[in-house]
Chains A and B, each alone.
Chain A
Amino acid sequence: MRSPLSLEVPLQSRHLSALVRHRLAFDESVWVRRALIGLALSFVGLFLVLPLVTVFARALGEGPARYFHALTSREALAAIRLTLFTAAIVVPVNLVVGVAAAWLIAKFRFPGRSLLLTLVDLPFSVSPVIAGLAFVLLLGRSGLLGPWLQSIDVQVIFSTPGIVLATLFVTFPFVAREVLPLMQSQGNDQEEAALTLGASGFQTFFRVTLPRVKWALLSGVVLCNARAMGEFGAVSVVSGHIRGVTNTVPLHVEILYNEYDSTGAFAVASLLTLLAVVTLLVKKFVEWRTE
């Protein structure tokens, strides 16, 4: 009963889409179509491709020696180390917490569920600068918890913990936001089946829920990582800009640029650009796998 029906639907839609394509192809004149495609391509080229190409052109403008020198200076290496360290903490934490939050929201009904759903999106709706300032007001010397932190001699703001905290905050939604819609659309049928067949809650989660969202998860992790390494605003507020100590890669780029070292700035910026390209490629790969 099911198979002829399920065959019929794709056939119909394929037929329909061919029709639509046919109509589209002959509706507008060649020139209009070419003009529109040209417009779209030149827009993309002008606003997306050209700036990226410029970064590399400027970075390598004074030769590869100068380029590698800029990347291996003490301050650049320290910035790269700090950025990698921050991402190494932030991404796993947000992975676990993000999946947990999405799982709770998608699969369960409980009081406060819609509040949690709203809170997940909060970091997206708050300007990163405000996020940074909020941490300063909470944990800074004159902040709410400042005196206590000082009494136990723990420095949070203007040192690495503050940078990690601010980055955690701004990158929190990425994993949850990628996974949540998929979990919701998949419904609870398979989980219920697993449970009735005697699987435990954890077994259900790891064997049924998780495998079904793995590609969305990967894409969330990649985006989260890209933002964690690229975050500027919130980190700038809590960093204190101590050279070679609390400067991340994006902050280091700004400093170099302000010091008229544009080759150095673009060399370090090219690292972030490469990260962006890799991120897009991975994302594309994930999309291709899920189709």
Chain B
Amino acid sequence: MRALALLPLLLLAACSKESTVTLLNASYDPTRELYEEVNRAFAKRWLEKTGQTVVINQSHGGSGKQARAVIDGLEADLVTLALGWDIDAVASKGKLLPENWATRLPRNSAPFASTIVFVVRKGNPRGIHDWEDLAKPGVQVITPNPKTSGGARWNYLAAYGAAQRKPGGDDAQAKQLMAGLFANVPVLDAGARGSTTTFAERGLGDVLIAWENEALLLLNGASKDTFEVVVPSLSILAETPVALVDQVVDRRGTRTVAEAYLKFLYSDEGQALASKHGFRPTGVATLEPKFAKVSTFTIAEGFGGWATAQRVHFDDRGLFDQLYAVKK
């Protein structure tokens, strides 16, 4: 009898010994398809190597919102966000990882990156070829709100940096371009996906400023014949960094597997998967032909890093507020 009574307990003990480990990856919106495949591939490799089953749960949302959630207690072992500034916030406001997190992995902790391109309606009826064309009167530009969307900050900085860095360009010209550009924006959506929907499904606007990976996704879908991609002469290299959250992995005892996961993103297999899903792998010599040749500058080259860019452009009463106020 007693043996029978103990049986469920023994079974339970056996189950918990059967080692399964879970990780939570807090990411931004457009990476869902990417990490779905990466997680499957990594789980397979990890099982082969260690005999341990790993289940990786995903949480997706606007990059800034996700950072906020991790600070407020979302138990994410990994943060894979749209911009370094959001991981900086997790480090500085939440004290959940060291402030020098970006130096812990190669290439500023960005195993892959993207850039900012234009999506226009088929045939490019408005003749949009470069950043200047977005500030022309009568052109409607769709871009999300840089206050809330990581992608929108990249859009903004790409435009500003391109105007500043082109031959003969300077700050005054960049400001003029931005004022013209934002005067052409009929609606600022909160997130990049919202803007894509506004442009693609509601049919608003002549040009959508977007992540290259979102643009490639749009062209892969049913709307192949409705849109085309225009690559500007100069754009930003949007590094999308990854980090493990020290406080969380140490409490949960998941550091080893979390480190292996991040390393996997840098492996040949991880890089190939990134490329497949429209992200530019940072560790390969030649990119697949679907990635247009575009000269890029980084946030460090163009703006001296996120802290400065944030303070000058996006903080309250920063340059974006001034430019957008002009419109109103």
Contact = CB atoms under 8 A, between A and B. Distances in A.
B32 interface: yes
Interface stretch (B45-53, B70-78, B164-172): B70-78
A245 interface: yes
A241 B71 contact: no
Interface string A130-165: 000000100111110010001000010111000000
Place the interface of chain B in its size category: 10 to 19
B60 A141 contact: no
A3 interface: no
B72 A140 contact: yes
A243 B57 contact: yes
B57 A245 contact: yes
Interface string B11-41: 0000000000000100001001000000000
A158 B60 CA distance: 13
B59 A244 contact: no
A240 B193 contact: no
A26 to B, nearest CB: 50
Nearest to B191: A258
B302 interface: no
B221 interface: yes
B57 A244 contact: yes
B119 to A, nearest CB: 15
Interface residues of A, number: 22
Interface string A250-269: 00000100111000000000
B71 A142 contact: yes
Contacts of A240: 59, 69, 74
Nearest to A149: B73
| 6 nearest A-B pairs in the assembled complex, by CB-CB distance | A141-B73, A140-B72, A158-B74, A240-B74, A140-B73, A242-B59
Interface of B: 24, 29, 32, 57-61, 69, 71-75, 94, 193, 197, 221
Interface of A: 136, 139-143, 146, 150, 155, 157-159, 240-245, 255, 258-260
18 contacts: A141-B71, A141-B72, A141-B73, A142-B73, A157-B72, A157-B73, A158-B72, A240-B59, A241-B59, A241-B60, A241-B61, A242-B57, A243-B57, A244-B57, A255-B60, A258-B193, A258-B197, A260-B221
